[in-house]
Chain A
Amino acid sequence: MRAALGGDADAYRALLGSLRPWLVSYFRRRLKGADSEDLVQMTLLSLHEKRHTYDPASPFLPWIAAVARHKLIDYVRKSGKRVHVELDDDIVGDDSGGLPADLARRDVEVLLAQLPADQARIISLHKLQELSIDEVSATTGKSPSAVKVAIHRGLRKLQALVGGKPAETADE
């Protein structure tokens, strides 16, 4: 998206192409009808017209999820249909199947960059490279309990950054 803001048409075309399946699944899940194709088109048009409101320093997926949610609510208002709209859209929940992996990866990098370097490294080792707490502890030279605390606090901070409610993380 950053490249698209700069005018790179190829990157933009690739982005739109990779977003479409996710949008199709997003609207199908909620509308269960033929109108979901129209909504995908409307969302892509809105993405195009309002692309300058994406902040290049922020994760992209919460932005496009908010655009899609806005279009859905607008559609429901106009058509008077009843659909399921989350009050607090959880984009990594049941929609994760169609999420473009490269976009998600880039968002994780953006978010991790906002944490202190040490904390980001510990989370990256444990959650992305899937090392155990003991292995992370050995790699970083910190005690296992310090590693656990860093992960717990880091994840809470990440959740706050994407606007989610801080929840208990079960796998620490």
Chain B
Amino acid sequence: MSDDILDHLARDLKPAKPLSVKALGIGAAVATVLAAVYIFVLYGARPELKALLGGDFSIDPMAWFKPLLFIAIGAGALWSVADLARPEGRLRLRTLAPLLIALGFVLVALVADLFARGFGAFRNIGDPSVLCVLTIVCGGGAGLILMWRLWLRRAATSHPGVLGAMSGLAAASLMAAAYAVHCDRDTPVYILGIYGGGVAIVTAVAAVLGRRLLRW
């Protein structure tokens, strides 16, 4: 092999901006706040949060716990994305910990609810569930497209499918956190089935897309 390719690459060299984890984090935080404002303005806040704005702090803990739960999952997934985006990166248990802990919480709550109310825990899922899934899927999808355009397509991962899945999980979880500003359905079945369903759809689609688009 001649030195031509080395000379050619060196001649072609332009300053390259390193892939910035900080930019990913700031972008995700801004997008989540914008999504929450969108939900607040168009859908309206859940009554407890309205009361909170009115100075009533004696609110149902789920009003803040639910968004926090999804922010934790989203942040963990985003951390995985930052790791996996480099060739030497891999999926590590500590970045999945928020997801596993959150799943554990919801499952324990589900079992407790089943013991307390029997199959009543599955009733009264109600109308807004379609809206919930649609919002998480569409908002998460929009977030994913934004992440792809601004950050993800510069990645060089050794695990395209996993990076895709983690990106989808991050985008959809943060959208779910924003949607939780509006939604006052807090039963474990609802969180696992409806929120979880929406997040799972985006994660699965992103994993499939990742395997194709994140190759290099």
Residues of A at the B interface (CB closer than 8 Å) are 4-10, 12-13, 16-17, 20, 37, 40-41, 44-46, 48-56, 62-63, 65-67, 69-70, 73, 163
Residues of B within 8 A of A44 (CB): 5-6, 9
For B12-27 the 0/1 string (1 means CB < 8 A from A) is 1111111100000000
Report the Cα distance A62→B83, complex, angstroms: 14
User: B156 near A46 (CB under 8 angstroms)?
Assistant: yes
Residues of A within 8 A of B50 (CB): none
Residues of B at the A interface (CB closer than 8 Å) are 1, 3, 5-7, 9-19, 85-88, 90, 154-156, 158, 216
B213 vs chain A, min Cβ distance (A):
15
User: A5 near B86 (CB under 8 angstroms)?
Assistant: no
For A12, give its contact among B1, B13, B216 (CB under 8 Å).
B13
Report the Cα distance A84→B87, complex, angstroms: 19
Interface of A, helix, strand, loop or mixed by DSSP: helix
Interface of B, helix, strand, loop or mixed by DSSP: loop
Query: Taking A9-B10, A69-B158 as contacts, is the C-beta distance between A63 and B88 under 8 angstroms?
Result: yes
User: B15 near A5 (CB under 8 angstroms)?
Assistant: yes
For B154, give its contact among A16, A52, A56 (CB under 8 Å).
A52
User: A13 near B6 (CB under 8 angstroms)?
Assistant: yes
User: A66 near B88 (CB under 8 angstroms)?
Assistant: yes
A-B contact count (CB 8 A): 85
Residues of B within 8 A of A8 (CB): 13
A22 vs chain B, min Cβ distance (A):
14
> Which partner residue on chain B sits nearest A16 by CB separation?
B6
Residues of A within 8 A of B16 (CB): 5, 7, 51-52
User: A17 near B87 (CB under 8 angstroms)?
Assistant: no
Residues of A within 8 A of B10 (CB): 9-10, 12-13, 16
- With a 10 A CB-CB cut-off, give which of B5, B17, B155 has the most chain A CB atoms: B5
Which 9 residue pairs across A and B have the least CB separation, nearest first?
A66-B87, A7-B15, A50-B156, A66-B88, A13-B10, A52-B16, A53-B156, A16-B6, A62-B88
Report the Cα distance A111→B110, complex, angstroms: 46
B21 vs chain A, min Cβ distance (A):
8
> Which partner residue on chain A sits nearest B92 by CB separation?
A163
> Which partner residue on chain B sits nearest A47 by CB separation?
B9
Report the Cα distance A9→B13, complex, angstroms: 6
Query: Taking A13-B10, A40-B1, A48-B12 as contacts, is the C-beta distance between A163 and B87 under 8 angstroms?
Result: no
User: A48 near B14 (CB under 8 angstroms)?
Assistant: no
Residues of A within 8 A of B85 (CB): 53
Report the Cα distance A70→B13, complex, angstroms: 23
Report the Cα distance A100→B5, complex, angstroms: 19
User: B86 near A55 (CB under 8 angstroms)?
Assistant: yes
Query: Taking A45-B9, A48-B12 as contacts, is the C-beta distance between A67 and B156 under 8 angstroms?
Result: yes
Report the Cα distance A53→B14, complex, angstroms: 15
Report the Cα distance A8→B13, complex, angstroms: 8
Residues of A within 8 A of B1 (CB): 20, 37, 40-41
> Which partner residue on chain A sits nearest B87 by CB separation?
A66
Report the Cα distance A20→B4, complex, angstroms: 13
B79 vs chain A, min Cβ distance (A):
14
> Which partner residue on chain A sits nearest B18 by CB separation?
A52
Residues of A within 8 A of B17 (CB): 52
A119 vs chain B, min Cβ distance (A):
23
B180 vs chain A, min Cβ distance (A):
34
User: B88 near A65 (CB under 8 angstroms)?
Assistant: yes
Report the Cα distance A163→B16, complex, angstroms: 26
Residues of A within 8 A of B156 (CB): 46, 50, 53, 67, 70
